[in-house]
Amino acid sequence: MALAALLALAGGARAADAARPVYLDPGQPVEARVADLLSRLTLDEKLALVHADSKFTTAALPRLGIPPRWMSDGPHGVREDVGPDTFVPAARTDDFSTYLPVAIALAATWNPDAARAYGDVIGDEARKRGKDIMLGPGVNIMRTPLNGRNFEFLGEDPFLAARLAVSYIRAVQAHDVAACIKHFAANNQETQRGTIDVEMDERTLREIYLPAFEAAVKEAHVWAVMGAYNELRGQHCCHNDYLLNQVLKGEWGFPGLVMSDWNGVHDTREAVFNGLDLEMGTNKPYAEYYLARPFRDGLGQGVYPLAALDEKVRRNLRVMIATHVLDGRPEGAINTAAHQAAARRVAEESIVLLKNAGATLPLDPSQLTSIAVIGENAVKLQAHSGGSSTLKAFYEVSPLEGILRRVGDRVNVTYSPGYRKDAAAELVGRAVAAAKAADVAVVICGLNHDGFDREGADRRDLKLPYGQDGLIQRVAAANPRTIVVLVSGSPVEMEAWIDRVPAVVEAWYGGMEGGNALAGVLFGDVNPSGKLPCTFPRRLEDTPTYAGGAPVFPGVNGAEHYEEGLLVGYRWYDTKAIEPLFPFGFGLSYTTFAYSNLRLVPGTDASGPVVTVQFDLANTGPRAGAEVAQVYVHQASPGLPRPAQELKGFQKISLPPGERQTISIPLDARAFAFYDPARHGWVAEQGTFTIQVGGSSRDLRLQGDFPLPRTIVEPAAAKD
C-alpha cells in the first residue's frame, strides 16, 4: 500500500478516536467514562438503570449502545432462565449449566483454591450464558442448623467464610462478571424472612455477621452487594442507613452497587436515601417500582435531590464499565471438561468422613461380592429444587450411578429405597432383607430440598425424616458392615444409630459429579479431606439459639434478639463446654497426620503479620492425603469477654505417605482483635494469647503462648 494511503488510514483512525465518546473508550479511566456517560443520560434513562424491567434484567439504552443487564442466580451454578415477568422457567434448551456442589460443600473443602476453581466455572459459564452479574456467593453465617438455606452458605465461621468468599469472587470477576455477595446482613433464617426485625449487639454484628462481607469488599473488590430481606434494628436491610451508607459505603469504601433482594424494597424515601442503588423483584409493575415513578415524582417535586439519583446511576455505570460491558468481553464456555473436573474435584474435597471404626472404609471391590445400596438419596437428583439456587444440570451422577460405574459388574449391587415420603413398611422390610443378603450395606439417606434444605422455610427439628432413624437401626442390625452416607446441606441428629454403625460419611449435595466423588471416597480412589464447616450437635437442645426460646429464634411479635451474641457455632459449644456430636473442623482421613515443632515467630510491624505460626506436619500413615491444619487463638485475660477460641488461620496441605513439611501461617493484628464498640474499632490488646494448632477445633495438637507486645487499634473506618 502506498505511504499516502497508509497515512490517510491512520488519520481516519485518529478521527474516529476523536469522535468516539469517552465512555466508549477502553483507554480512558473508569471514572472518566462513568462521568461522561452519566452526563449523556436523560432523566428517564437514569431511572431505567436503577430498577428492573424484567425478573432478572434492567432495560437496555439502545440510543447509547447500552445493552440490557442480565443477572442470574445463584451460588452453585448459573440458574436456568425464567420469565421475563415470572419465575416460571422460560423453557429454553440452551440454559443448562454445570451443577457444582452446594456452597456448604465448598466450605467443607476448606480450600480457597477449590473456591477459586468454583468461581472460575461460574464466571466462565455466566459469560457464555450472557450474564453480567451473578447472585452469589451467599455468606450468611449458620446461626442455627435449622435455617432452610444453610446449604447455600459457607458455614458457621466468619473467618472460613471470608477466605472462601474472597477466592470465589476474584475468580468470578476475572471473567468480567460482577459477583453479588448476599444477603447483607443478618439473614439467618427463612421464618418471616421478609419482616423479622433482628436485634443484636454491635460486637456480634461486627465479629460474626459482617466479616465475610467486609473481606469481600476490601480484598476481593466485589462489585455488587445484595441487601437482605429482614430488618436490622428496625429498618429493612435493603435500605438500611447504618448497614449500607455508614458501614458498607462509608467505613469500607465500597464503590459498587447495592441491589435489593427480590421484593425486598418497601419504601421510596428509604430506598432513595439509605444506600440502595438497584431495585429488583418488587411485586409491582416495573413502572411502579419504588425507584421508578414514585422516585421520578419526588424528583420532580424537589422532594429528592437529583444528586441522589446520579449517585445510584454512577454506581451502576461503574460496575458496568469496570466489568467491560461496553468493551467486548470473553465469550465464556459451558460444560467443558475442565468444568466437569472442577465440579468433581470440589465434590471429592468436600466429603467428610465422620466415623470409620475398624477401617470399614475404604471398601475393596476385589474383596466384595455384593453391596446393598439403600435409601432414596441414592437415586434422587437434587439440582432442580431448593429455591432460587436451582439449576438445570447438564447431567447429575447420582450416588447409586457413581457406585455402579465404579464397581462395574464385578460386584452385585442391589438397590432398595428403604424409605420414602409416606413410605410403606414393606420398603423397610425389603431393604433389611437386601442388607442381610449383602457383604456390605450402604444407606444413602439424609435430607433433600423438598422440605428441608430449601428456601422459604426452616426445619422444625434436626431429625432425619421419613423414618430413616428406624431404617438405619434395622439395617445395621441385619448387617454389621453398614455404612451411612448423609446427603444434606446442614447437620442432622444421629443419636439413634451412630453407635450401631461403623462408618458415616457426610456427602452434602455434591453437584453433578457427586456420585462419582462419593464412589471415589467409598472405594479409596480418593482419600477424604473434607472438614466440617459447622458443628454437628448431638441434639437440637444443645444449639446456641435453643435455650432462649422463641424470642431468640425464630422471634416473637416480628422481632428476634440474638441473645447468644458472639457464641455462634463452636464458639458456643466450646465456651459453654457442650460436647458436640462432631466438632467444627472435624473430618477423618484414610491416613494419619502428626503435628510437631510449633514455633511462633514474631513479626516486627503492626501493618504486616504480627506473628507467623510455624509447625511441621507429617503424613504418618500408608496413603497420600490432605490435612486441613487449623489455627485457633485464645486470649488469656481479655478486656471484653471473648469466646473460648476462634479460628484465625488454616491451610490445606497434601502430603505423600511418609513426608513431612514445614507450614507457615501468618496472623495479622485482626487475628488477635475483638471489636470494641466504645472505640469504634478493632482492638488487639497487649497480653498473652494462646495459639493452638490441630486437625479440628477439638483436636488441637500443638499449643504455644504468644505475648502481643503492645495494643494495636484498627479504626473501623480504616481502608486497607
The residues binding ligand BGC (CB under 6 A) are 73-74, 135, 182, 261-262, 388
Q: Which of 584, 603, 655 is nearest to 626 (CA)?
A: 655
- Least spacing, CB of residue 488 vs ligand BGC, in Å: 20
Q: How far is CA 684 from CA 520, 577, 712, in A?
A: 45, 25, 5
Which element (helix H / strand E) includes 502?
A: none
Cα 260 to Cα 240: distance, rounded to the nearest angstrom: 11
Q: Which of 620, 700, 627, 630 is nearest to 658 (CA)?
A: 620
Residue 60: burial class (beta carbons within 10 Å; 0-12, 13-18, 19+): middle
Helix (H, G, I), strand (E, B), or coil: what is residue 586?
coil
Nearer to ligand BGC, 104 or 135 (CB): 135
Cα 351 to Cα 344: distance, rounded to the nearest angstrom: 11
Cell numbers representing residue 409 in the block: 459388574
Residues 177, 127 contacting (CB under 8 angstroms) = yes
Cell numbers representing residue 170 in the block: 476474584
Q: Which of 477, 418, 411 is nearest to 446 (CA)?
A: 418
What stretches of 403-498 adopt beta strand conformation (E)? Answer: 412-416, 440-446, 482-487
Cα 636 to Cα 630: distance, rounded to the nearest angstrom: 19
Cα 259 to Cα 365: distance, rounded to the nearest angstrom: 52
261 is catalytic: yes
Compute the residue count for the chain. 720
Residue 239 CB partners (closer than 8 Å, separation 6+):
227, 260, 265, 266, 267, 270, 271, 273, 274, 275, 276
Backbone angles phi, psi at 633, to 5 degrees: -115, 140
Nearer to ligand BGC, 74 or 580 (CB): 74
Cell numbers representing residue 307 in the block: 444528586
Residue 637: burial class (beta carbons within 10 Å; 0-12, 13-18, 19+): exposed
Q: What is the distance of C-alpha 616 from the center of its chain?
A: 30
Helix (H, G, I), strand (E, B), or coil: what is residue 457?
coil
Cα 225 to Cα 645: distance, rounded to the nearest angstrom: 30
Residue type, 493: E
Angle at the Cα of 329 (from 323 to 333), degrees rounded to 5?
115
**Which of 261, 453, 542, 668 is the catalytic position?**
261
Nearer to ligand BGC, 74 or 386 (CB): 74
Cα 109 to Cα 105: distance, rounded to the nearest angstrom: 7
Write the secondary structure of 545-582 as one string of H (helix), E (strand) and C (coil): CCCCCCCCCCCECCEEECCCCCCCCHHHHHHCCCCCCE
Cα 375 to Cα 434: distance, rounded to the nearest angstrom: 12
Asked whether the bond before 255 is cis by omega within 30 degrees of 0, the reply is no
Nearer to ligand BGC, 265 or 494 (CB): 265
Nearer to ligand BGC, 73 or 156 (CB): 73
Tell me the β-bridge partners of 613: 600, 665
Q: How far is CA 300 from CA 42, 285, 616, in A?
A: 14, 21, 68
Q: Which of 374, 368, 486 is nearest to 429 (CA)?
A: 374
- The secondary structure of residue 59, as a DSSP letter, is -
Residues 243, 258 contacting (CB under 8 angstroms) = no
Nearer to ligand BGC, 316 or 468 (CB): 316
Q: How far is CA 75 from CA 102, 109, 118, 552, in A?
A: 7, 16, 10, 28
Nearer to ligand BGC, 125 or 493 (CB): 125
Residue 604 CB partners (closer than 8 Å, separation 6+):
none
Which residues carry out catalysis? 261
